[in-house]
Amino acid sequence: MTWGPVTYAVGREKVREYATAVGETSPLCHDVDAARAAGYADVVAPPMFAAVYKAGAIGAALTDPEIGMDFARMVHGAQEFSWGEPVVAGDEVTTEAELLRVDERGGLRFFEFETRSVNQRGESTCVGRWTNIVR
């Protein structure tokens, strides 16, 4: 099963707010002039900003009634990311999510999803793997 595509328009203030919230102090994330001097078109999103632009697609997957995930019994199992091109303010990042597998082990159900995100030029920005466990 797949969900998406979901497109997220990356805003300069969202990048700055996220960077501040996670304690990222790099001028590349806050100062347009510093980012441009380093060769970027605008402020650069911290890598884990991926959780923001992937939220629409992975959220749709996790809450799909056909998946049947019991949130009252769910725990976060694992998360992995592989980053590609940096995301900067002004980018439009499109994400799709896919259910890779559902396994049962020891009375637990493991749900593994993959998200793939690309910018408006079709360049990969991030591939994510998400594992959720239902007790």
Q: Number of structural domains, the chain?
A: 1
Does residue 73 sit within a domain? yes
Quote the distance between the C-alpha of residue 60 and its chain's center. Answer: 13
pTM, to two decimals: 0.93
For the stretch 68-72, contacts whose Cβ atoms lie closer than 8 Å and that sit 24 or more positions apart, written own/partner, are 69/111, 69/132, 69/134, 70/134
Does residue 36 sit within a domain? no
Does residue 7 sit within a domain? yes
Q: How would you write the pLDDT of the chain (135 residues) with one tens digit per residue? A: 999 999 999 999 999 999 999 999 999 999 999 999 999 999 999 999 999 999 999 999 999 999 989 989 999 999 999 999 999 999 999 999 999 999 999 999 999 999 999 999 999 999 999 999 999
Provide the β-strand partners of residue 92.
Answer: 9
User: Domain range for residue 52?
Assistant: 2-11+47-134
CATH number at residue 103: 3.10.129.10
Query: Where would I find the H helices in the chain?
Result: 12-21, 32-37, 50-53, 55-63
Does residue 34 sit within a domain? no
Does residue 22 sit within a domain? no
Does residue 130 sit within a domain? yes
